[in-house]
Every structure is written in structure tokens, then in C-alpha cells.
Amino acid sequence: MDEANAKQAVRLPSWSVWYGQHTAHFWAMPVTHDLAAAQHIESRTAAQLEQRAWEIERCFRARPVRPRRVRPDSRVRRRGTAEA
């Protein structure tokens, strides 16, 4: 990994970043669970790639997290229930 890619990786810890020698573009793929649904991104410059990655992160992290439904424990009696 060259110095430019190393710097980019430090600024984007949730992404695997590389430079394509044949395409002459920068590429990134999400590596964290919360961004798993995001697709890989590609840009001509490192600055554009970083901007797109931050935009995607803001979108994914702005979604409200649905709270898990807690099933009542059958061993705990509810108030007001008659005992057998």
C-alpha cells in the first residue's frame, strides 16, 4: 500500500480503499456491519472518493434503528392476572 492509500485508509476506517492501476480510479468497499448494504464506490480522485464515502455513511447512520421487540418472559406474572 502506498502512502496516499494509507492516508485514505486512516480517514475512512469503515472502508477498504485502493487505487486501480488499470482504471486510474480510487475504489472503496465498506467493511463494517452497519454499511454492509452499501455498494462499492469509485472516483477519479481521492477527495471525491472520501466525500462519497462520508455521504453514504451519513445516509446509513441517519436511519433510525428499530428497537428489538422484547418477548415477555412467561415465568413473570403480569399484574392483575388471577393465579390458578
pLDDT tens figures, 1-47: 465 655 666 688 888 999 999 999 999 998 887 787 888 899 999 89
Angle at 25 (CA atoms; ends 41, 8), nearest 5 degrees: 70
Low-confidence winner among 3-12, 56-65, 75-84 (lowest mean pLDDT): 75-84
Q: How many C-beta atoms lie closer than 10 Å to residue 58's C-beta?
A: 9
The DSSP 8-state label assigned to residue 17 in this structure reads E
Q: Which residues contact 41 (CB under 8 A, 6 or more apart)?
A: 27, 28, 29, 49, 52, 53, 56
Report domain extents, the chain: 3-62
- Give me the pLDDT at residue 13, please: 85
Yes or no: say if 19 and 5 are a contact pair by the CB < 8 Å rule: yes
Q: What is the pTM of this model?
A: 0.62
